[in-house]
């Protein structure tokens, strides 16, 4: 990020793209895929080394999904693990000098949030049909307004929370580097460490909230 | 800074692409492997259970065979004991009978011997008495009357004197 708030854009087919965001997204995707390939090549029935770690993550995720979403949630497991790994990689590469997080662009976060919300509604309609629409009008039809506001707020809060955290982290790194003399690295190092923590936490939060929203749509209703 | 443009569509497509790739490259093999492993463990456990049952059955058979063999051996020993006792009893009875038979034979022989001795003695006594009497009264008695006299005497002897000999 060279100038705060100014993005390089290119025009393609009459559409405008933020080229830096796209480049960084592809980089993050490449990192995620590389890690995934390295971790899962040479799989054995008797696990060894890294395979233990990967299996541990997937089993933990399966447990979480089973607990939150029931058996239908299993088909969303690749989506959720992909979301988490992509967000983690995206958040963290922004902390490398001369690079930027794809998640410091609202286009990325809002895109992901909208994707999650669309999946929630599509799966909700698919699995529950009429009940899914009816539950917006409960307990009384008046509540449809509040429910609608809630549904609209979901993607917006998801998107802006992540976007704001990551963008603020990167801006403050630049500000601190410019503000402090070169022999005084302590504040920027502290902030960098905090940013690493924030990057992980925000990836977890986004993923967990997405899981909670998805669970709402996918989980079998025991009451009915 | 906050501006929504076509990047949002590109990012959605990027992310869906990433998920598809991840699913193909990483998630499916690992999930398949986990399934494979749990299947294998389950299969192994089932197999072990089957083996255990088989072993138990074999053990049961062996135990049954062993107790059968024990019973048979006991029967054989009992039979042998019984036969031996019967043979022993038979031998003892045979021996007793033999002894009895020998005793009877011996008694009969003794009886015969005694009778024979008695007869012999009687005739010798007669002869001796006749000779003695003949010499004493040769003059006044004939032989016939002498015989009668002596025989009467012997018979009276027989009755009185040999009664306790019999």
Q: With beta carbons under 8 A apart, name residues in chain B contacting A79.
A: 19
- Dist CA A209 CA A113 (whole Å): 10
Judge contact between A108 and A204, C-beta under 8 A. no
Whether the pLDDT of residue B166 is over 60: the answer is no
Per the structure, the complete domain to which residue A141 belongs is given by: 9-218
| Residue A81 near chain B (CB below 8 Å) | yes
| Residue A112 near chain B (CB below 8 Å) | yes
Least confident of A44-58, A86-100, A135-149: A44-58
Asked if the structure places residue A177 within a domain, the reply is: yes
Q: With beta carbons under 8 A apart, name residues in chain B contacting A7.
A: 3
Q: How confident is the model at residue B22 (pLDDT cuts 50, 70, 90)?
A: confident
pLDDT, tens only, A10-28: 777 767 777 777 888 888 8
Judge contact between A166 and A108, C-beta under 8 A. no
Residue in chain B lying closest to A26 (CA): B14
Asked if the structure places residue A4 within a domain, the reply is: no
Q: Do A108 and B11 touch (CB under 8 A)?
A: yes
Whether the pLDDT of residue B68 is over 90: the answer is yes
Q: How confident is the model at residue A223 (pLDDT cuts 50, 70, 90)?
A: very low
Least confident of A22-26, A129-133, B103-107: A129-133
The mean pLDDT value of chain B amounts to 85
Distance (Å) from the C-alpha of residue A65 to the closest C-alpha of chain B? 14
The predicted structure's pLDDT at residue B55: 95
Average confidence (pLDDT) over A134-138: 76
Distance (Å) from the C-alpha of residue B52 to the closest C-alpha of chain A? 25
The predicted structure's pLDDT at residue B35: 83
Higher pLDDT: B17 or A15? It is B17
Residue in chain A lying closest to B17 (CA): A29
Q: Which of A26, A45, A111 has its CB closest to that of B33? A: A45
pLDDT, tens only, A58-89: 788 778 888 877 777 777 878 888 888 888 88
Distance (Å) from the C-alpha of residue A128 to the closest C-alpha of chain B? 25
Asked if the structure places residue A186 within a domain, the reply is: yes
Judge contact between A48 and B37, C-beta under 8 A. no
The domain tally of chain A equals 1
In this structure, what is the dihedral angle of CA atoms A158, A162, A165, A166, given to the nearest 10 degrees?
-170
Whether the pLDDT of residue A224 is over 60: the answer is no
- Dist CA A185 CA A181 (whole Å): 8
Average confidence (pLDDT) over B124-141: 75
Judge contact between A18 and B7, C-beta under 8 A. yes
Question: Crossing angle of helices B143-160/B28-137, nearest 10°?
Answer: 140
User: Can you say how many angstroms the Cα of residue A183 is from the centroid of all Cα atoms in its chain?
Assistant: 36
Asked if the structure places residue A1 within a domain, the reply is: no
Distance (Å) from the C-alpha of residue B23 to the closest C-alpha of chain A? 6
Q: Do A86 and B23 touch (CB under 8 A)?
A: no
Asked if the structure places residue A3 within a domain, the reply is: no
Average confidence (pLDDT) over B24-44: 83
Asked if the structure places residue A223 within a domain, the reply is: no
Average confidence (pLDDT) over B98-124: 92
- Dist CA A14 CA A185 (whole Å): 45
């Amino acid at each position: 990020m060279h100038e705060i708030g100014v993005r390089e854009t290119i025009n393609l087919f009459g559409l405008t793209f933020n080229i830096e965001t796209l480049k960084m997204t592809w980089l993050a995707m490449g990192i995620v895929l590389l890690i995934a390939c390295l971790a899962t090549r040479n799989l054995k029935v008797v696990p060894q080394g890294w395979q233990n770690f990967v299996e541990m993550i997937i089993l933990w995720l399966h447990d979480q999904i089973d607990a939150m979403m029931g058996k239908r949630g299993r088909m969303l497991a690749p989506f959720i693990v992909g979301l988490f790994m992509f967000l983690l990689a995206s958040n963290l590469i922004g902390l490398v000098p001369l690079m930027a997080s794809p998640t410091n662009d609202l286009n990325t976060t809002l895109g992901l949030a909208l994707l999650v919300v669309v999946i929630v509604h599509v799966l909700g309609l698919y699995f529950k049909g009429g009940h899914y629409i009816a539950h917006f009008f409960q307990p009384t039809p008046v509540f449809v307004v509040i429910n609608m506001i809630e549904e609209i707020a979901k993607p917006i809060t998801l998107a802006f929370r992540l976007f704001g955290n990551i963008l603020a982290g990167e801006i403050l790194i630049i500000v601190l580097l410019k503000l402090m003399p070169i022999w005084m690295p302590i504040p920027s190092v502290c902030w960098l460490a905090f940013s690493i923590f924030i990057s992980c936490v925000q990836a977890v939060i986004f993923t967990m909230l997405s899981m909670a929203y998805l669970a709402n749509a996918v989980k079998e209703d025991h009451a009915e | 800074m906050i501006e929504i443009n076509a990047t949002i569509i590109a990012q959605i497509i990027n992310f869906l692409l990433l998920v598809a790739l991840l699913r193909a490259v990483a998630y499916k093999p690992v999930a398949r492997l986990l399934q494979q492993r749990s299947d294998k463990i389950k299969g192994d456990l089932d197999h072990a259970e089957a083996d255990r049952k088989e072993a138990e059955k074999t053990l049961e058979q062996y135990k049954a065979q062993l107790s059968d063999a024990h019973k048979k051996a006991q029967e054989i020993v009992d039979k042998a004991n019984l036969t031996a006792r019967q043979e022993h009893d038979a031998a003892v009875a045979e021996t007793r009978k033999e002894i009895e038979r020998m005793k009877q034979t011996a008694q009969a022989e003794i009886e015969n011997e005694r009778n024979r001795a008695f007869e012999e003695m009687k005739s010798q006594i007669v002869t001796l008495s006749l000779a003695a009497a003949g010499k004493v009264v040769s003059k006044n008695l004939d032989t016939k009357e002498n015989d009668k006299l002596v025989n009467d005497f012997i018979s009276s002897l027989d009755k009185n004197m040999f009664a306790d000999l019999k």
